Structure 1
Amino acid sequence: MKRMKMRRFLLVAIFAGSLMTSCSEDMDDVIDDDVLVERENVEIEDFIYRGMDEIYLYKPDIPELADDYFDSEDDYYDFLVSWDTPEDLFDEGLVAPQDRFSYITDDYIELENSFSGISETTGVDYRLYLFSNSDDIFGVVRYIVPGSNAEGTAIKRGDLFTEINGETLNRNNYRSLLSSPSVTFTLAEINDNAVSNTGEEVTIATSEVTENPVLIQNVIETDGLKIGYLMYNSFVADFDQQLNDAFAYFASENIDHLVLDLRYNGGGRVSSATALASMITGSYTGEIFAKQQWNEDYQNYFLATDPDRLFNYFTDDLPGEIALNQLNLTDLYVIGTSSTASASELVINGLKPYIDVYLIGHTTTGKSQASVTLYDSPNFGPTNANPDHTYAIQPLVYESVNANDIVVPYDGIDPDVESYESLSDLGVLGDPSEPMLAAAINAITGNTSEAQAMTRQREFNYQEFKERASLQPNYKRMYIDELPSLRLDQ
């Protein structure tokens, strides 16, 4: 029995109910040897399977997603019910080993908020590190989110913390402690590569914050050059206008070069990445910024029905025919780190066939795939989503390559000038003396000896662990605006 026919039969059997029970019960009664057996509710599991079966990039690598894998509806049901939770089915049963970024959530409202830059946070952005040979953790404050409860408190960039709410941070408790409604940071300092508490405490309540990803924009004048500096922390379409306004400022200042600081930018919406790349250049409207490579079924479907769907093109406007402010630059200097991922890497890779792109910092994450949100609805869109639950899945659906068919390496993009943030001296973001920005400026001006002197080495006593964004559902994700015209087994 073909799986599509079998799956439709299962849905009718479970959700209509052969005994004409209420459709809200989501169960079927099956008679076997005169014993009445109630089937378990697999409504969510069925949605997850159907979504992955429909559009997952790595579908060919999952045997259970093969068209002839199940012989009957009972085999299919037995597979779905064999998993303890929907998360187990998704993470352990349907996600390929090479997939580091597909995601499931039981609260798609939180996911949607994260795509708009909305989160419950103290406003303290941090990176966590593991102590050597220990499960204990300490954090380093990277910046304070403007407009958050942390703004104006005693905590600032460069501060360290080892305890939250009186408990020492470790691998097992960091998530729950840092997600508390009220967070008390026990501050620490680093001296001679040793971390110790100062005894100072700062308590901050969380609140819902909408974070503008355009954190800093300024112009630095040095050696007769005007260098624009933009710190951009997430590709959030709701703030595309603010991004465009930043480029209006750079255009009015007639800058010669641009330093794009993506050191903390884990990615976001593809359309925003395309717009940013188009603002930087301005000379390639209508040319290919990126190519999409879907699974075989969808690739062939788009080639037959809408081949233009497989390309992202440089543009000269935002939705609503809002003209982009474009700089027509021929080079770009990007500050990147291990936190730099997905849409950030898309910008770097997509621009390389057209202009000179230099990476200052260290190797990026290495994520070239885009995802899309699937809801439990007839066409997997948000309209008419099943009201009985708020599960959604965010599977990888295509891999992106640039106009020269080059993909972002799985191990990340290596820097042209290697530099690390020093935990003992992070510097002031946007200040020309901040070490990573100074390295970028020196690369622009050709002061190679000074650039080398400003290069900071990694402090090997501590291992990078997690960062604030890793507690959010859109962490290191590159996603498309909306579902494509689905094939739905046509």
Structure 2
Amino acid sequence: MKLIKLCLLLAVALTFTNCFEDNDDNAVAASEINDFIWKALNATYLYKADVPDLANNRFSSDGDYGFYLNQFSTPESIFESLLFDRDNVDRFSFLIPNYIDFLENQQGNSLSTGLEFDFYFKPGSDTEVFGIIRLVLPNSVGDNQGLLRGQIFDAVNDVPLSNTNLSDLLNQNSYTLNFANYNDNGTPDDVEDDIIESTANSTSLTKQAYTENPVFQTDVIDVDGENIGYLVYNGFNNNFENELNAAFGQLQASNVQHLVLDLRYNPGGSVGTAAILGSMITGQFNGEVYSKLIYNEDLQQNNSNYKFVNSFDGNQINSLNLSKVYVLTTDASASASELVINSLSQYIDVVQIGDNTVGKTQASITLFDSPGFGPNDINPTHTYALQPLVANSINVNDEAVPSTGLIPDIDINETPRNYGILGDTNEPLLAAALLDIQGLGRYGQFNNEVKSIKKDMNLKPFEDRMYIDIEDVFIDRIQFE
């Protein structure tokens, strides 16, 4: 029996009768928001040419357009109807019911216990589930309760976990984790003999306001007299670029000869920050093209290049001038994380260790119901916004990240048996990098045919995103006919 991993972002005046309740409990005409959704996607959507209902000549009159909008009783229904090949091509555009909460989350602010989880089916079951704490954010509720990476639980509030109740149980503001033990019954090569044993231990947690610094951990490891930098980076948040630069300053001051960049839990973020990170790893390519963004046929004037830089916001970048970097990934590594690998690999040797990445090469932007869809003068009658795909990210040689993800050079999956301590030289993914650096061969792991499946449990909202910063010039350059 295989363990299945469940891993967990120009108004026309119309008067109609359809209404719905928005997040502020105010009745708003559905057509008002439907109008915003259609026009925003018509103006920006990457796959506009593949969606007949988004064609510029789709409607013969205002009345025809109004009739079309009134067919959809909710914003969700019209939004989904206008996406191209949802299952295969556009897996990532999403509607934002409350942009206030979304922007807070995008800046790293949220109500949180500070815990991130992975989930697996119990051996021998395709419905019963257990979870593993994969990450404990510093100074968070979970951290203050003394919880640790690798701890296992099989129930929440004494309710056994299943593949149907995970989201409801863990999205509560307060809950209790009921812990368990993983017992391999002395047969480490046979998953079918493994058992999840419930215990009487538990911890109660209540979410609190928390701001996450994505620069999670910075270490310098001495191996055979060489300094190896190790950086755990969990999100491309442009509010923390100074903290990222400070981490590289620490590595630079330690004269590291090698870098292990841990992106295993990094779902992506700002394209601009991804370019800055690439410049910190290198430094010898200042001014050269790092990556490109290519828009739809109507917005080719917005195509742009992101270049290697030696400064940002007046700050000198702390660069390592490396010609090789090790990048750790899992099936939670997405978007801007993939951009870094895809872009850097055209200039230096990138050794990817871990699991296949998500496979997201497209960038998105937040669009508001406002003139020009920017963040000013937003329609106050509702809180909907959009995060549609608007551009393809490609490297200097015009290569995109494949939709199947980036395949690691050294394949190692995290499994319930091998969650080590991040930064410990025996942790499997880091150990594999250190062995390769030392030229001692490959890290040996029997992976028990663990199969990883990405499944949206709504446990960390707005994952798998690569976005263009609002302050970038894209919005101002949209041309409306």
Shared topology, TM-score over 0.5? yes
SS of aligned partner of 1:379? helix
Does 1:480 find its partner at 2:481? no
| Structure 2 counterparts to residues 214-363 of structure 1, below 5 A | 214-299=215-300, 301-302=301-302, 310-319=304-313, 321-363=314-356
Does 1:194 find its partner at 2:208? no
Query: Relative to total residues, which structure has the larger helix share, 1 or 2?
Result: 1
CA 1:137–1:73 in structure 2 vs 1: closer, same or farther (change >3 Å)?
farther
Aligned residues: 448
**Stretch deviating more after TM superposition (94-103 or 376-385):** 94-103
RMSD: 2.0
Q: Deviations for 1:370-396, whole angstroms, at most 9, x for unmatched residues?
A: 000000001101100000111000001
SS of aligned partner of 2:236? coil
CA distance in 1, matches of 2:428, 2:460: 28
> AA paired with 1:174?
L
> AA paired with 2:222?
E
Does 1:11 find its partner at 2:12? yes
Identify the match of residue 427 of structure 1 among 402, 413, 420: 420
| Structure 2 counterparts to residues 74-473 of structure 1, below 5 A | 74-97=63-86, 98-131=89-122, 133-192=125-184, 193-299=194-300, 301-302=301-302, 310-319=304-313, 321-448=314-441, 451-453=442-444, 455-457=445-447, 460=450, 464=453, 466=455, 470-473=458-461
Q: Deviations for 1:1-55, whole angstroms, at most 9, x for unmatched residues?
A: xxxxxxx6x722439xxxxxxxxx999xxxxxxxxxxxx5411111011100000
CA 1:26–1:360 in structure 2 vs 1: closer, same or farther (change >3 Å)?
closer
In the TM superposition, residue 286 of structure 1 has moved relative to its aligned partner by 0.8
CA 1:94–1:489 in structure 2 vs 1: closer, same or farther (change >3 Å)?
same
Tell me which residue corresponds to 2:35: 46
Contact 2:14 2:31 in 1 (8 A): no
Contact 2:30 2:73 in 1 (8 A): no
Q: Deviations for 1:107-159, whole angstroms, at most 9, x for unmatched residues?
A: 10111111111111111111122345523322110121111111132431111
Q: Which has the higher contact order (CA 8 A, sep 6+)?
A: 2
Identify the match of residue 54 of structure 2 among 47, 65, 73: 65
CA 1:170–1:81 in structure 2 vs 1: closer, same or farther (change >3 Å)?
farther
CA 1:273–1:437 in structure 2 vs 1: closer, same or farther (change >3 Å)?
same
Contact 1:158 1:424 in 2 (8 A): no
CA 1:94–1:71 in structure 2 vs 1: closer, same or farther (change >3 Å)?
farther
In the TM superposition, residue 161 of structure 1 has moved relative to its aligned partner by 1.3
> AA paired with 2:340?
V
CA distance in 1, matches of 2:388, 2:456: 22
TM-score (norm 1): 0.87
**Stretch deviating more after TM superposition (73-82 or 407-416):** 73-82
Contact 2:428 2:443 in 1 (8 A): no
SS of aligned partner of 2:325? strand
CA distance in 2, matches of 1:11, 1:172: 42
In the TM superposition, residue 228 of structure 1 has moved relative to its aligned partner by 0.4
> AA paired with 2:205?
I
Unaligned runs of 5+ in 2: 1-9, 17-25, 185-193
> AA paired with 1:342?
S
Contact 2:393 2:400 in 1 (8 A): yes
Identity of aligned residues (%): 40
CA distance in 1, matches of 2:333, 2:31: 38
CA distance in 1, matches of 2:433, 2:125: 34
CA distance in 2, matches of 1:478, 1:219: 29
Q: Deviations for 1:434-490, whole angstroms, at most 9, x for unmatched residues?
A: 111000111111110xx232x351553x7545488x534421100011251233334
TM-score (norm 2): 0.89
CA distance in 1, matches of 2:405, 2:318: 30
CA 1:463–1:270 in structure 2 vs 1: closer, same or farther (change >3 Å)?
closer
CA distance in 1, matches of 2:446, 2:402: 24
SS of aligned partner of 2:267? coil
SS of aligned partner of 2:434? helix
SS of aligned partner of 2:82? helix
In the TM superposition, residue 208 of structure 1 has moved relative to its aligned partner by 1.1
Contact 2:30 2:75 in 1 (8 A): no
CA distance in 2, matches of 1:480, 1:169: 37
**Stretch deviating more after TM superposition (221-230 or 373-382):** 221-230
CA distance in 2, matches of 1:326, 1:258: 12
Q: Deviations for 1:179-215, whole angstroms, at most 9, x for unmatched residues?
A: 1111100111211222221121110110111011111
CA distance in 2, matches of 1:159, 1:314: 40
Contact 2:12 2:62 in 1 (8 A): no
The structure that has the greater radius of gyration is: 1
> AA paired with 2:182?
I
CA distance in 2, matches of 1:332, 1:164: 40
